[in-house]
Amino acid sequence: MIKENNAKEKKRKDPIIILLDIIIIVLIFVMIYVGRDTLFYKMQANKSSTFSQDVEIMSFELQRGDYAGLIHGKYMNEINGKTETSGYHALADYIEAAFTYKVYDTKGYTEKANKQKAIMDEARVKMKELTIFADKADKMFMISY
């Protein structure tokens, strides 16, 4: 009788419980990943008295493909009067103009698109060795340069 009760108690786990366990494990890994990035940015922000992005942070964002963060950092640096990362700022200007250019070009606003193209040309000259990332942006926005 006791052996029968033990056999009944060891029945299979419900598939829903297994799925929930997997989801919990995935969420733990996501939290660790996000926490690592947050810690990195927090440590960088604590290095200076005002929040600005130096070459190290902007390079990190490029490696991750975080172009929005690059543009945000450019504006934060402009607010704080930091100009040491002019190549990265030019790349941020280029990416922002490329996106706007693509929108205007798609909609058929040629005059506005040409203004954005001029901003792109000017930024391409200023970014120097970072032009490889401008080429990636061109491919991303399907712009033939």
4-38: per-residue pLDDT in tens?
Answer: 555 556 667 788 999 999 999 999 999 999 888 88
**CB–CB of 104/112 below 8 Å?**
yes
Cα 76 to chain centroid distance, Å, stands at: 16
**What does the alpha-carbon distance between residue 11 and residue 14 come to, in Å, rounded to a whole number?**
9
Q: What's the predicted TM-score (pTM) here?
A: 0.63
Could you give the CA distance from residue 108 to residue 123 in angstroms, rounded to a whole number? Answer: 23
Using 70 as the pLDDT threshold, list the residues of the chain that sit under it: 1-11, 44-52, 145
